[in-house]
C-alpha cells in the first residue's frame, strides 16, 4: 500500500487456527501491534474456513498501532474437498473418483467464491466449479461433471440454480 508507513503482511493460515508464531508473529511483532489481537481477529474471520489454508493480508500502521485484516478465499479445489470432507483429490482422476457431491454443494462453493470469479453469470461460475470437480476426481449427482456442465448449459437445472 502506498500510504506512508503502512506495513503489509501476507500470509497463509489455517482457517480458525492462526497463531502468534510464524508467519504472523515475526512479521507483525516489529510493528508494535498486539499480535494476540491480530491473531484473534484472523481466527474470527477465518472460522468459516476451518481446516483450510486461507490467504490473509494484514495492513499494519506502526504509528497508530491499528491494523486491518483482509481474508482471501481458499482455492476452489480446497472448498470442494471441504464439502466432501476429504483432505486431497484423486491422484488419478480418470480412474479413481474420490467421491460425489451434489449440485447444492457445487453452488455452496460458487457462493463462497462469488466475488473472485471472473465469470459473468452464476451459471458460468457453476460450470467453472464443475470443471474443478472433474480435476480433483469428483462426480456430481453421480455423474461425470462434464455431463452436468452440458445439462447446466442446456438449462436442465435452471430451476435448481439459485443464483441467476
Q: Are residues 84 and 42 in the same domain?
A: no
CATH, residue 61: 3.30.1550.10
The confidence band for 105, taking pLDDT boundaries of 50, 70 and 90, is very high
| Residue 53 lies inside a defined structural domain of this protein | yes
Do residues 63 and 85 both lie within one domain?
A: no
Mean confidence (pLDDT) of the chain: 89
Residue 57: domain span: 7-71
Instruction: Please say which residue of 52, 71, 90 terminates a domain.
Output: 71
How much is the pTM?
0.72
What pLDDT digit, counting tens, does each position of 7-61 carry? Answer: 999 999 989 999 999 989 999 999 999 999 999 999 999 988 888 888 999 999 9
Helices (H), the chain: 24-28, 35-46, 76-84, 103-113, 122-136, 145-153
Helices (H) and strands (E) in the chain, counts: 6, 5
Q: The domain spanning residue 145 has which CATH number?
A: 1.10.10.250
Amino acid at each position: 500500500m502506498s500510504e506512508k508507513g503502512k506495513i503489509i503482511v501476507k500470509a497463509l493460515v489455517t482457517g480458525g487456527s492462526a497463531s502468534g508464531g510464524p508467519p504472523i508473529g515475526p512479521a507483525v511483532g516489529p510493528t508494535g501491534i498486539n499480535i494476540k489481537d491480530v491473531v484473534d481477529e484472523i481466527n474470527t474471520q477465518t472460522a468459516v474456513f476451518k481446516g483450510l489454508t486461507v490467504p490473509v493480508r494484514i495492513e499494519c500502521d506502526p504509528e497508530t498501532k491499528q491494523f486491518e485484516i483482509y481474508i482471501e478465499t481458499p482455492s476452489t479445489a480446497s472448498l470442494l474437498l471441504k464439502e466432501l470432507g476429504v483432505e486431497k483429490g484423486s491422484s488419478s482422476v480418470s480412474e479413481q473418483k474420490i467421491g460425489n457431491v451434489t449440485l447444492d454443494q457445487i453452488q455452496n462453493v460458487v457462493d463462497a467464491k462469488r466475488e473472485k470469479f471472473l465469470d459473468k453469470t452464476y451459471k458460468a461460475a457453476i460450470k467453472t466449479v464443475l470443471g474443478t470437480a472433474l480435476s480433483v476426481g469428483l462426480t456430481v449427482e453421480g455423474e461425470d461433471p462434464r455431463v452436468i456442465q452440458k445439462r447446466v448449459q442446456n438449462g436442465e437445472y435452471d430451476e435448481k440454480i439459485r443464483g441467476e
